[in-house]
């Protein structure tokens, strides 16, 4: 198949692209405008494959996106491109509306035009897979409930509201125009190539540098943690085997309080790092509680029984195995994250067209 992956230079997108190139015979075209979170170095291991291509195109560019559909003629669109950091959405929501809402609309329209000229056999196989988040559901107010495919939408932040809006557009294009859309809502991802502004890589890299490990509020917020390579497998399975018009929730079955996640990272680093930064007996000594962010959701948790029942997907990694793999990856790939921290990775984007 020919698969168009938007946001393919991002954290989850690059994991999807690496999975497709390494484990299938499909051809991939990565579409990414290379904002700060897009990093082509995350695709270095597959960029020389004859089944890989890249286009630096903004998903809000209707002319550019339409031209790309005409040129590449995808069988499947996997739409991962999004602004995704809650704190950034609070400070500057406009970019989130532009990318997540207008960008999704632009892609849906280009896909609709492309779909309209396909023959019956091609139409039967075409899918527009819209990748979303469990944050569109707001938060859970008890310790037992789980989000599922029927959960009501109640977004709390500009980020989650913009993703909720894009989900609604995707469903509407399926219902009104018959575009074969599939939606997935996932829990918190972690793993290799994660941009250092997010909790787990931030804690790892701050600890290695002897810097404070900031934890919002009292750290009691609960998240369901999903190893990114497990998620990539799930997304490919949904895109290729999922039923048009359906939604699938994807979770890691790994609920953890944020404070426990941070302490786990510290404990593993304590066991690995012999020469700690000066005056530190345990990396946990660096934990610093900071003012909670506005509208912070307390708990997310996913009921992933539908995707297991209908498509046979289950996560391979426990939180313990996944977090250990993640930490060891960061320790072994200092060049990747140092180039992110010092900004030199951004130079790869300058002057790049296609």
pLDDT band for position 348 (cuts 50, 70, 90): low
Q: Is 89 helix (H, G, I), strand (E, B) or coil?
A: helix
What was the pLDDT predicted at 141? 80
Q: Which residues pair with 127 in a beta bridge?
A: 76
User: Is 130 within a domain?
Assistant: yes
User: Is 236 within a domain?
Assistant: yes
Which one of 41, 58, 83, 134 is the catalytic residue? Answer: 134
What was the pLDDT predicted at 92? 95
User: Is 16 within a domain?
Assistant: yes
Q: Is 182 helix (H, G, I), strand (E, B) or coil?
A: strand
Q: Burial letters for 63-79: b for 16+ Cβ neighbours within 10 Å, e otherwise? A: ebbbebbeebebbbbbb
User: Is 286 within a domain?
Assistant: no
Residue 218 DSSP label? T
The stretch 149-176 carries a mean pLDDT of: 97
Q: Where are the beta strands (DSSP E) in 108-235?
A: 127-133, 181-186, 188-190, 213-216, 222-227
Total domains in the chain come to: 1
Task: Return the percentage of the chain with pLDDT > 70, whole number.
Answer: 98
Let me know if 229 is a catalytic residue.
Answer: no
The burial class, CB within 10 Å (0-12 / 13-18 / 19+), for 81 is buried
User: Is 341 within a domain?
Assistant: no
The CA distance from 282 to 280, in Å, is 6
The stretch 312-331 carries a mean pLDDT of: 97
Residue of 295 and 39 predicted with greater confidence = 39
Domain containing 125 equals 2-195+225-255+299-319
| Whether pLDDT at 271 is above 60 | yes
pLDDT band for position 353 (cuts 50, 70, 90): very low
Average pLDDT, the chain: 95
Which one of 32, 58, 75, 135 is the catalytic residue? Answer: 135
pTM, two decimal places: 0.95
- Please write the tens of the pLDDT for every residue from 69-83: 999 999 999 999 999
What was the pLDDT predicted at 7? 98
| Whether pLDDT at 339 is above 80 | yes
- Please write the tens of the pLDDT for every residue from 103-143: 999 999 999 999 999 999 999 999 999 999 999 999 898 77
Which one of 159, 193, 300, 330 is the catalytic residue? Answer: 159
- Please write the tens of the pLDDT for every residue from 183-240: 999 999 999 999 988 999 999 999 999 999 999 999 999 999 999 999 999 999 999 9
What was the pLDDT predicted at 351? 44
Say how many C-beta atoms besides its own lie within 10 A of residue 176's C-beta.
9
The stretch 239-266 carries a mean pLDDT of: 97
The stretch 341-348 carries a mean pLDDT of: 82
Q: Give me the CATH number covering residue 133.
A: 3.40.50.720
| Whether pLDDT at 58 is above 70 | yes
User: Is 281 within a domain?
Assistant: no
The stretch 335-340 carries a mean pLDDT of: 96
User: Is 122 within a domain?
Assistant: yes
| Whether pLDDT at 349 is above 60 | no
| Whether pLDDT at 347 is above 70 | no
Two tokens, residue 12: 């989850």
The stretch 87-111 carries a mean pLDDT of: 96
Q: Is 111 helix (H, G, I), strand (E, B) or coil?
A: helix
User: Is 178 within a domain?
Assistant: yes
| Whether pLDDT at 350 is above 90 | no
What was the pLDDT predicted at 354? 32
């Amino acid at each position: 198949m020919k698969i168009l992956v938007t946001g393919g230079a991002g954290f989850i997108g690059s994991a999807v692209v690496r999975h497709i190139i390494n484990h299938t015979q499909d051809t991939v075209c990565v579409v990414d405008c290379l904002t700060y979170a897009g990093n082509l170095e995350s695709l270095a291991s597959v960029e020389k494959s004859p089944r890989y291509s890249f286009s630096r195109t903004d998903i809000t560019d209707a002319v550019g996106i339409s031209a790309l559909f005409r040129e590449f003629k995808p069988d499947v669109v996997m739409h991962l491109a999004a602004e995704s950091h809650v704190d950034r959405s609070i400070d500057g929501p406009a970019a989130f509306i532009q990318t997540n809402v207008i960008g999704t609309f632009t892609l849906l329209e280009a896909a609709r035009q492309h779909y309209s000229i396909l023959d019956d056999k091609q139409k039967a196989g075409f899918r527009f897979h819209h990748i979303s988040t469990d944050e569109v559901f707001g938060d859970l107010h008890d310790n037992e409930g789980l989000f599922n495919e029927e959960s009501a939408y109640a977004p709390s932040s500009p980020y989650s509201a913009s993703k909720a809006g894009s989900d609604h557009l995707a469903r509407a294009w399926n219902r009104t125009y018959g575009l074969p859309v599939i939606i997935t809502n996932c829990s918190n991802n972690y793993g290799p190539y994660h941009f250092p502004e997010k909790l787990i890589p931030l804690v790892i890299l701050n600890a290695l540098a002897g810097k404070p490990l900031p934890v919002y509020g009292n750290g009691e917020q609960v998240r369901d943690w999903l190893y990114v390579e497990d998620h990539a497998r799930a997304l490919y399975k949904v895109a290729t085997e999922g039923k048009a018009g359906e939604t699938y929730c994807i979770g890691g079955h790994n609920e953890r309080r944020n404070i426990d996640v941070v302490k786990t990272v510290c404990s593993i680093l304590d066991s690995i790092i012999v020469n700690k930064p000066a005056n530190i007996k345990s990396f946990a000594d660096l934990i610093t509680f900071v003012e909670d962010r506005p509208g912070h959701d307390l708990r997310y948790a996913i009921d992933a029984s539908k995707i297991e029942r209908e498509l046979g997907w289950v996560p391979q990694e426990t939180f313990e195995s996944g977090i250990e793999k993640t930490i060891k990856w960061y320790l072994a790939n200092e060049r990747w994250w140092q180039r992110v921290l010092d900004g030199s990775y951004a130079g790869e984007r300058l002057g790049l067209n296609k």
